Amino acid sequence: MARNWLKGAQSAYDTVVIGSGLAGMTAANVLARLGHKVLLAEHHYNLGGLATWFKRKGGHILDISLHGFPIGMMKTLRKYWTMDMADRVIQLRNIRFDNPQFCLRTTFDRADFTHILLERFGIMLDVVDEFFSTIRQFNFYDELKMTTRELFEKFFPGRKDVWRFLMEPITYANGSTLDDPALTYGIVFSNFMSKGVFTYQGGTDQLIRAMKAELESNGVDIRTHCLVEKIYVDDDGVRGVRINGDDIACNAALSNSNLLTTIHKLVGDEHFDDGFLKEARRVRLNNSSCQVYIGIKKGEKVDYDADLLFSSVADEYDTDKILSKDVTSRTFSFYHPFIRPGTNRYSVVSSTNARYEDWASLGTKDYGRDKDHLIQTTLDALSHYVPNVRKIVDYVEASTPKTFKRYTLHPSGTSFGTKFEGLKISRELPQQVAGLFHTGSVGIIMSGWLGAANYGVIVANEVDKFLRSVNSQSPVEAVTV
């Protein structure tokens, strides 16, 4: 008989959080601390969503999305998690670029970028200063018409090399392109520029374990292997959810599942206005990713002096080329032993942005062949920097958009949620259905570890407000559906 993963669960909670990505977990933690009874349901066997890792024979631990985040994550961990987690945030100082236009090294902060723009690219100091202060002043309510392309055209006309320097890392960080609103670029890029790129000492596994412990100590009922199949809604709003075939009552459902899945599948179109649905249908998903995970033999070391390397053989920055299955650009993350002190192990992860369509339609044989091709060409590209990589590698594996879809259930395996328009739809859900909330990667600015976690807090605030207003009226009754 299948194990009952809901054994011992209560029949009603104040709120059910659907999905344990960084947004879902952070929201669950904030809500539990505010005194609400929270159930956190995750379909996978691990918590973390895309903030994940896997282990393989030979002592390999491979991280999926620990390439780096802005300094803001330290404060977010301190305020909504624990001081110990915040103390583990450390800087990655060694960021490199290598492409036909330039080859350089940076600490990826404003001072160093200013220096490079002046010395290397010959840009005037006042132009650089004005560029930085312009993008820092962007705020949410700004005019959204300007695209990042127009922003670059304005400050660095015709300087495709400068555009690449400023844009390529952000395209990797959140899938955005020159055609997305300059506002999204300004917010994310400024977040990085404030102090540089940071990582979490201990690795993703340590972080998620610590988060799980913290959630439990705050009373969150955590359930893995629990797929939320349906959010029940009646005329008064959310009534409950169906998990693995069982009904659980709640006044508020907070979905960390993909925005479009939440609307069309979990709730159902019949519960939304036509106008809202029309707008929701226009929301574009962001792209997906491919990765190659390279575990290095015990006792061997990777002799390359970088934490992150943006490597490309394309003649200039071009989103289509970055997304193409014919890979020309890769981000290599070098995991040195200091990431997991005491283990003395190295690994390298290569990431590329990718399109779901390019992988979804392949038959088993072609899929296997293309994955192997991806692995071999990645090792070739890496041997340019680490000549003996094929000698010291012990374990290699690749993931594709199909892999991301399977583990996160995100349509088209989207790595970074939706394009900008998704944020408004996410924010408006509670006006459509009382007690229905969404959090997680949307709108470009709310993606990445920092964006997702902070968006979890922003929406938790709304859920708290809502729950206090209903609790002051009537207690939760068990659902009859």
Partner 1 sequence: MTRDEVRGAILDILSEIAPDENIESIDDNRKLRDQMDLDSMDFLDIVMELRKRFNIEVPEKDYEHLATMSGCIAYLQPLMLKKQVAN
Ligand X SMILES: Cc1cc2nc3c(=O)[nH]c(=O)nc-3n(C[C@H](O)[C@H](O)[C@H](O)COP(=O)(O)OP(=O)(O)OC[C@H]3O[C@@H](n4cnc5c(N)ncnc54)[C@H](O)[C@@H]3O)c2cc1C
Binding site for partner 1 (CB under 8 A): 30, 34-35, 72, 75-76, 79, 454, 457-458, 461, 464-465, 468
Q: Is 295 in the site for ligand X (CB under 6 A)?
A: no
CB of 25 to ligand X, least distance (A): 8
- Give the residue with the Cβ less far from ligand X, 41 or 238: 41
432 binds, among ligand X, partner 1, none (CB under 5 to 8 A by kind): none
- Give the residue with the Cβ less far from partner 1, 34 or 392: 34
Interface of this chain with ligand X, residues 13 to 32, rule: CB under 6 A: 18-24
281 binds, among partner 1, ligand X, none (CB under 5 to 8 A by kind): none
65 binds, among ligand X, partner 1, none (CB under 5 to 8 A by kind): ligand X
Q: By beta-carbon distance, which residue lies closest to ligand X?
A: 21
Per DSSP, 412 falls in state G
Q: Is 400 in the site for ligand X (CB under 6 A)?
A: no
Cα 322 vs. chain centroid, distance in angstroms? 18
Cα first-last separation, the chain: 26
Q: Please name the residues in contact with 112: beta carbons below 8 A apart, sequence gap of 6 or more.
A: 106
User: Is the backbone of residue 8 left (phi > 0), alpha (psi -120 to 50) or beta?
Assistant: left
Q: Give the count of beta carbons closer than 10 Å to the beta carbon of residue 171.
A: 24
CB of 435 to ligand X, least distance (A): 17
Applying CB under 6 A, which of residues 94, 106, 403, 441 lies at the interface with ligand X?
A: 441
- Give the residue with the Cβ less far from ligand X, 251 or 418: 418
CB of 254 to partner 1, least distance (A): 15
Q: Determine how β-strand 53-56 pairs with β-strand 60-63.
A: antiparallel
Question: Which string of x and - marks every residue 125-154 that binds ligand X (by CB under 6 A)?
Answer: ------------------------------
Token pair of 35 as six digits: 């005194």
199 binds, among ligand X, partner 1, none (CB under 5 to 8 A by kind): none
Give the length of the chain: 481
Applying CB under 6 A, which of residues 12, 28, 32, 41 lies at the interface with ligand X?
A: 41
- Give the residue with the Cβ less far from ligand X, 81 or 152: 81
Q: Please name the residues in contact with 393: beta carbons below 8 A apart, sequence gap of 6 or more.
A: 294, 295, 296, 297, 379
67 binds, among partner 1, ligand X, none (CB under 5 to 8 A by kind): ligand X
Q: Give the count of beta carbons closer than 10 Å to the beta carbon of residue 88.
A: 18
Token pair of 404 as six digits: 């991301």
464 binds, among ligand X, partner 1, none (CB under 5 to 8 A by kind): partner 1
Q: Where are the alpha helices (DSSP H) in 63-180?
A: 72-80, 83-87, 110-119, 125-137, 148-155, 160-174
CB of 34 to partner 1, least distance (A): 6
- Give the residue with the Cβ less far from ligand X, 117 or 438: 438
- Give the residue with the Cβ less far from partner 1, 147 or 454: 454
Q: For residue 1, count CB atoms less than 10 angstroms from its CB and return exposed for 0-12, middle for 13-18, buried for 19 or more.
A: exposed
Note whether 297 and 393 are within 8 A (CB): yes
Q: Is 436 in the site for ligand X (CB under 6 A)?
A: no
193 binds, among partner 1, ligand X, none (CB under 5 to 8 A by kind): none
Applying CB under 6 A, which of residues 50, 128, 188, 252 lies at the interface with ligand X?
A: 50
Q: Give the count of beta carbons closer than 10 Å to the beta carbon of residue 78.
A: 15
Per DSSP, 356 falls in state T
227 binds, among partner 1, ligand X, none (CB under 5 to 8 A by kind): ligand X
- Give the residue with the Cβ less far from partner 1, 56 or 79: 79
Note whether 156 and 163 are within 8 A (CB): yes
21 binds, among partner 1, ligand X, none (CB under 5 to 8 A by kind): ligand X
Q: Is 438 in the site for ligand X (CB under 6 A)?
A: no
Interatomic CA distance for residues 277 and 283, integer angstroms: 10
23 binds, among partner 1, ligand X, none (CB under 5 to 8 A by kind): ligand X
38-47 burial code (b ≥16 CB/10 A, e <16):
bbbbbbbebb
- Angstrom CA distances, 189 to 166, 171, 254, 361, 452, stand at 8, 10, 29, 35, 16
At residue 226's C-alpha, the angle toward residues 421 and 174, to 5°, is 30
- Candidates 3-11, 46-54, 118-126, 378-386; binding stretch for ligand X (CB under 6 A): 46-54
- Give the residue with the Cβ less far from partner 1, 35 or 59: 35
